[in-house]
Structure 1
Amino acid sequence: MLPWRVLGAAGVLGVAMAAGTRLPGHEPDAMTGLLVLRLAALVGGLALAFLFDDPARRTTEVVPVRRPVRAGLRPALVAPLAAAWWTAVLFLVPAAARPPAGAITLEAAAVGVSAVALAAASVRLRGEPDPGAGAALALLALAVAVLLLSSRWHLLVPPGDPNWAEAHRWWAGLLVAAALLCAACLPEPLHRLRRTSRTRRTPGPGAPSPHGA
Structure 2
Amino acid sequence: MRELTRADAGRGEVQGLVRELAGPVFRTLPWRAVAAGSLLGLVAAAVPRLSDGAGGPWVALNLLRAAVLAHALALAFLLDDRARHTTAAVPTRRPLRAALRLVPVIPVTALWWTAALLLVPSSVRPPTGAVTLEAAAACALALAGAALAVRLSDEPRPGQSVAGALLVTAVLAVLLWPDRWPLFVAPGDPKWAGAHERWAWLLAAALLVLGACLPEPTRGRLRHRQPRRPLTPSGA
When normalised by structure 2's length, the TM-score is 0.80
Maintained 8 Å contact 1:156/1:167: yes
Alignment pair present for 1:171 and 2:193: no
Q: Classify the secondary structure of the residue corresponding to 2:180.
A: helix
Pairwise CA RMSD? 2.0
Alignment of 1:29-68 (within 5 A): 29-68=56-95
Question: 3-state DSSP class of the match of 2:151?
Answer: helix
CA contact (8 A) 1:150 1:156 kept: no
Which stretch shows the higher mean deviation, 138-147 or 84-93? Answer: 138-147
Change (3 A) 1:54 1:158: same
Which shifted more, 145-154 or 176-185?
Answer: 145-154
Per-residue deviation, 1:93: 0.2
Distance 1:204 1:11 in 2: 54
1:159 counterpart letter in structure 2: P
Q: CA deviation at 1:27?
A: 2.6
**CA–CA separation in structure 2 for the residues paired with 1:128 and 1:203:** 28
- Structure 1's consecutive aligned runs of 4 or more residues displaced over 4 angstroms after TM superposition are none
CA offset digits 1:80-130 (Å, max 9, x no partner): 100110110011100111110010010011010100000100101112201
Give the deviation of 1:32 after TM superposition.
1.4
Q: In 1, Cα distance between the equivalents of 2:133 and 2:160?
A: 24
Aligned amino acid, residue 107 of structure 2: P
Relative to structure 1, the CA distance from residue 152 to residue 146 in structure 2 (aligned partners, 3 Å threshold; closer, same or farther) is farther
Normalising by structure 1, report the TM-score.
Answer: 0.89
Aligned to 1:194: 222
1:152 Cα shift?
A: 3.1
Q: Which runs of 5 or more residues in structure 2 are unaligned?
A: 1-27, 232-236
| Cα distance in 1, alignment partners of residues 142 and 182 from structure 2 | 21
> 1:13 pairs with 29, 40, 45, which one?
40
Residue in structure 2 matched with residue 109 of structure 1 by the alignment: 136
In the alignment, which residue of structure 2 is the partner of 1:141?
Answer: 168
Matched residue of 1:55: which SS? coil
Q: Does the CA-based 8 Å contact 1:45-1:111 persist in structure 2? A: yes
Instruction: In structure 2, give the amino acid aligned to 1:121.
Output: L
Q: Distance in 1 between matches of 2:179 and 2:70?
A: 23
Deviation by residue 1:59-94 (Cα, 9 ceiling, x = unmatched): 111222111100111111101100110110011100
Q: Hey, what's the Cα distance between the residues in 1 that align with 2:216 and 2:107?
A: 26
Q: 1:26 aligns with which of 52, 56, 61?
A: 52
What percentage of residue pairs aligned between the two structures are identical? 51
Q: Are positions 1:155 and 2:183 aligned together?
A: yes
Check the 8 A contact 2:144/2:207 in 1, yes or no.
yes
1:92 maps to what in 2?
Answer: 119
SS at match of 1:128: coil
Q: Measure, in 2, the Cα distance between the counterparts of 1:190 and 1:113.
A: 25
Q: Following the alignment from structure 2 to structure 1, what is the Cα–Cα distance between the partners of residues 46 and 171?
A: 26
Count of aligned residue pairs for this structure pair: 203
Q: Aligned match of 1:132 in 159, 162, 167?
A: 159
Amino acid of the structure 2 residue aligned with 1:93 = V
